[in-house]
Amino acid sequence: MEVIFIGSTLLILLVTVLPLSRHPHWIIRSMDFPRLQITCLAVVLLFFLFFFAELHKTTFWILIAVTAICLIWQLWWILPYTPLWPKEVLDDEVGVPETNISFITSNVLTTNKNSGALIKLVEKYKPDILVTLESDQWWEEQLEVLEEAMPHSVKCPLDNLYGMHVYSRLPLHDAKISFLVEDDIPSVHACAELRNGQKVQLHLLHPAPPSPTENEESAERDAELIMVAKMVSTCDQPVIVTGDLNDVAWSSTTRLFRKISGLLDPRVGRGLFNTFHAHYRLLRWPLDHIFHSNHFTLRQIERLPSIDSDHFPLYTALSFSPAQGEQQQGLEDDTEDHERAEELMEEQGVSEEDVPQSK
C-alpha cells in the first residue's frame, strides 16, 4: 500500500510539474489538457491518504503535503472556469436584436456523415454565423441547404482534417483564406456587418495540435495564436476570434493569447463548456473557443448536443454593447509576456503583419 501511495503521489507531481516547462514537445504540452482529471485524482488520493495511510509516519505527511500543493496548483488554473469565479464578461442587459451576433462553431470530424444533426441544430438555434472545421467537399455539398438562409459564405474544403467553411446571415466583407504558419492549415479572416451597420473583425482559426501524429511540438500552434493576438492588440474595431484552437482554455499559451490580445473569455465565471472528447465522458476539456473584445457582452453560451463528431458544437450569442462592456477587463500583460510572444513568432518566422485585417 505504501508503494502505491508513493507512486501515485509521484505521478501527480510529475504531471503537475511538467507543464511548468515552456518546452513545446507534445508530451509536455499535453499535460496542460487534463488538469480537471488531475485535480480529481489528487482529491481521491488525499482521501485515501487520510483514511488508509499510517499517519504516524512522516513519509505519509510528506505525501499529503505534496499532493495538497499539486491540488491547489491545479485548482488555480481551472477555478476561473467555474461559477465560483467572478464573470469576466457581463450578461447582456440591452437586448437589442440589431446589435446581436451569434455563432455555432463545430468541428464536424471529416469522417462523420451525420450532417443532418448539425443542420437541425442550425435550424433550431438560427446562428448568425456557422463555422465548421474539418469540413471537406462532402460536407460542403451537404451544407448547401443552409445557403438560402445564410447566403454569405467562405469555403475551404480540404481532405487533410483542416478544411473550413463559414456560412453567415450577416454580410461578410473582405473575406480571405490565409495559411498563416503552415502551408496546409487555413484560417479565415473577414469583417461581419451587424444589422445596425456596425463592422466586426472575425478571425476563425484551427491550428494543428502538438501530437505524435501531427506536429511533435506546439511551436506552430503557439505562433499562429500569438501572431493573431498581436494583430488584434493594434485593432480599434470590435473583434471576435473563434474556432478549434487545439489548446485548452487554461493553458499558458491561451493565457498569453488573452494577455497580448486583450480579448475576453465569456466562459470565465460560468463553466468549462468542455467540447472534446464527445465520446469519452471522463476525458473532456475545452478545445473550442470564442474570445472577443470588450465591445461585447454575453447573451448566451451553450455546449450543444452531439452530432456524432468527436467535438460537441458550441453556441455563443453576443451583444454589441460597448458602453456596458467598458466595465469589463481581461488578463493584464507585462514585459515578459511580450518578450515571450516575440520569441514564439521569431521561431516560426512570422509576424502579426501577416494576419489579414479588414479596413
The per-residue pLDDT for 130 is 98
**In a domain? residue 89:** no
Beta strand 129-133 with 187-193 is unpaired
Query: Which residue among 52, 81, 110 closes a domain?
Result: 81
CB 30 within 8 A of CB 287: no
**In a domain? residue 86:** no
**In a domain? residue 8:** yes
The per-residue pLDDT for 218 is 96
CB 81 within 8 A of CB 266: no
Sheet holding 199-205, edge to edge: 172-178, 187-193, 199-205, 239-244, 288-292
Q: How far apart are CA 201 and CA 174, in angstroms?
A: 10
Task: Report the SS3 class of residue 189.
Answer: strand
Q: What is the pLDDT of residues 332-351, one digit of tens each?
A: 999 999 999 999 999 999 99
140: number of Cβ within 10 Å? 16
Residues 53 and 114 in one domain: no
Q: What is the mean pLDDT of each run of 10 residues along the chain (359 residues)?
A: 90 95 92 95 94 83 96 97 96 88 98 98 98 98 98 98 98 97 97 97 97 92 98 94 96 96 98 96 96 97 98 98 91 95 96 90
Residues 317 and 291 in one domain: yes
Residues 74 and 144 in one domain: no
Residues 196 and 306 in one domain: yes
Residues 143 and 226 in one domain: yes
Residues 42 and 119 in one domain: no
**In a domain? residue 235:** yes
Nearest-5° angle of CA 213, CA 216, CA 221? 100
Residues 17 and 151 in one domain: no
Residues 206 and 325 in one domain: yes
The per-residue pLDDT for 219 is 96
**In a domain? residue 359:** no
As for how many domains the chain has, the answer is 2
The CATH number of residue 348's host domain is: 3.60.10.10
Residues 261 and 164 in one domain: yes
Q: Could you tell me the residue range of the domain that residue 138 belongs to?
A: 97-354
| Residue type for position 257 | F
The per-residue pLDDT for 330 is 93
The per-residue pLDDT for 295 is 96
**In a domain? residue 90:** no
**In a domain? residue 138:** yes
Residues 220 and 72 in one domain: no
Query: Which residue among 46, 81, 116 closes a domain?
Result: 81
The per-residue pLDDT for 54 is 80
Query: Which residue among 53, 81, 109 closes a domain?
Result: 81
Q: How far apart are CA 152 and CA 127, in angstroms?
A: 13
Residues 47 and 105 in one domain: no
The per-residue pLDDT for 52 is 83
**In a domain? residue 203:** yes
C-alpha cell at 67: 499532493
Residues 75 and 128 in one domain: no
Q: What is the pLDDT of residues 35-68, one digit of tens each?
A: 999 999 999 999 999 888 887 788 889 999 999 9
